[in-house]
């Protein structure tokens, strides 16, 4: 039997608690060796037998840890990933990959020099709605897509007193990486971006709104997020030469793990809110499209295989860098109030 890959987790906020620890502990071939956290009671409430380590250095000194998951605050991503790579560990970085293009380039160079795997947690590639859309594009149901709108809206009118609300770049570097990565997976690199990034809530410490348009030769891609949207159900609206598909509601996996459920079961990743397909032909009725099952476990099993040298990196550093390039261009576009070429 192949020995399990020892995994160390840095940080136990929402990312560590909902997106990482539940999957590490349920993925065959992975073993959670320790969690770096300033709140041992919080960790032990969920994982009573797991070691809680006082600092990153202690984790990196553990020879049983081969893979480090960086889920610390954004501004520490590059620092912690660099230290882990220097210690000879493989590294998974939560999004955003880094807070600047320079940091992202430096991480890739360090990983290549060290001969270690570096990946970024773009888990939304395995959302039920996104997998369903990919299926519709692959089978030609929509024809050639000419307009794509992707939204992550929220109703959070009062800013929370957390570092996430004050993160550099605000929502654009929080939710933007998900939407940008999905767009690049579907359509590749755009020609240019025009972005409006703003702070609309009273006393909000960082931007809480963005509206970005990615320009392609024969397509427009809109990425949008607001924390002042009481009606925030719309997720995707995709219009093609053969019809339109509109999807409401979010993939259920995050809500399930936040509620304490462990990944697994016959209904895992099932999204009950079906999208609607409206054909372009006259007098043809709109129909419901059953969702494909979302499954973040596919990322984790692919990561385990990649660390063992048995499969490709599920999200390559170059793909993550392409996302960072779009995010950086979006920040420049918003600041300079102009379209920025890519």
Segment 189-214, tens digit of pLDDT = 999 999 999 999 999 999 999 999 99
In angstroms, what CA-CA distances link 19 with 32, 105, 293, 335? 14, 25, 17, 32
Task: Give 123's Cβ-side CA count (13 Å radius).
Answer: 22
226 confidence band (pLDDT: 50, 70, 90): very high
pLDDT of res. 161? 84
Residue 167, pLDDT above cutoff 90: no
> Cβ of 20: how many Cβ atoms within 10 Å?
28
pLDDT at 1 over 70: no
Rounded to the nearest angstrom, the gap between the alpha carbon of residue 153 and the centroid of all alpha carbons in its chain is: 15
> Over pLDDT 90: what percentage of the chain?
95
> 251 is written with which tokens?
């993939």
| DSSP-derived secondary structure for 250-283 | --SHHHHHHTTPPS-STTTT---S-EEEEESSTT
Range 125-295+326-341 has CATH code 3.30.360.10: yes
Bridge-based pairing of strands 30-36 and 52-53 is parallel
Region 150-154 average pLDDT: 97
Sheet holding 219-226, edge to edge: 287-289, 275-279, 243-248, 234-240, 145-151, 219-226, 209-216, 192-198, 340-341
**What is the reported pTM?**
0.96
Q: Which fold has domain 5-121?
A: Rossmann fold (3.40.50)
H or E segment to which residue 152 belongs:
none
Q: CA–CA separation, 54 vs 59, rounded Å?
A: 8
Residue 256 scores a pLDDT above 80: yes
Question: Does pLDDT of 166 surpass 60?
Answer: yes
Task: Report the alpha-carbon distance of residue 305 to residue 69 in Å, rounded.
Answer: 16
Which band of pLDDT confidence, cut at 50, 70 and 90, is reported for residue 165?
A: confident
How far is 278 from 269, CA to CA, in rounded Å?
25
Buried b (16+ CB within 10 A) or exposed e, 176-211: bbbbbbbbbbbeeebeebbbebbbebeebebbbbbb
Q: Are 84 and 60 in contact (CB under 8 A)?
A: yes
Q: Where are the domains of the chain?
A: 5-121, 125-295+326-341
pLDDT at position 210 is: 98
Residue 2 has pLDDT above 90, yes or no: no
How would you classify the pairing of strands 340-341 and 192-198? antiparallel
Q: How far apart are CA 125 and CA 108, in angstroms?
A: 21
Q: What pLDDT shows up at residue 163?
A: 84
């Amino acid at each position: 039997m192949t020995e399990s890959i020892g995994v160390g987790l840095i940080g136990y906020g929402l990312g560590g608690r909902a997106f990482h620890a539940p999957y590490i502990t349920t993925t065959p071939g992975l073993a959670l060796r320790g969690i770096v956290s300033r709140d041992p009671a919080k960790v032990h409430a969920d994982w009573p037998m797991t070691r809680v380590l006082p600092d990153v250095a202690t984790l990196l000194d553990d020879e049983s840890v081969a893979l480090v998951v960086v889920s610390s605050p954004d501004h520490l991503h590059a620092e912690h990933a660099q230290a882990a790579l220097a210690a000879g560990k493989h590294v998974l970085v939560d999004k955003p990959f880094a807070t600047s293009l320079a940091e992202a380039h430096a991480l890739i160079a360090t990983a290549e020099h060290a001969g270690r795997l570096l990946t970024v947690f773009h888990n939304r590639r395995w959302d039920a709605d996104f997998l369903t859309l990919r299926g519709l594009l692959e089978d030609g149901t929509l024809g050639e897509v000419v307009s794509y709108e992707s939204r992550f809206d929220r109703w959070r009118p009062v800013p929370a007193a957390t570092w996430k609300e004050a993160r550099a770049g605000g929502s654009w570097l929080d939710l933007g990486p998900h939407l940008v990565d999905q767009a690049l997976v579907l359509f590749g690199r755009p020609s240019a971006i025009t972005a409006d990034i703003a702070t609309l809530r009273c006393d909000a410490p960082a931007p809480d709104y963005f509206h970005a348009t990615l320009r392609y030769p024969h397509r427009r891609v809109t990425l949008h997020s607001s924390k002042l949207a009481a009606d925030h159900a719309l997720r995707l609206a995709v219009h093609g030469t053969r019809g339109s598909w509109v999807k409401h509601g979010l993939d259920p996996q995050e809500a399930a793990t936040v509620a304490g459920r462990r990944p697994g079961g016959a209904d895992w990743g099932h999204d009950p809110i079906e999208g609607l397909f409206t054909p372009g032909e006259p007098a043809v009725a709109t129909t419901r499209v059953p969702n494909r099952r979302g499954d973040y476990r596919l990322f984790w099993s692919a990561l385990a295989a990649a660390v063992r040298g048995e499969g490709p990196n599920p999200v390559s550093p170059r793909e993550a860098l392409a996302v960072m390039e779009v995010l950086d261009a979006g920040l420049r576009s918003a600041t300079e109030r102009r379209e920025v070429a890519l």
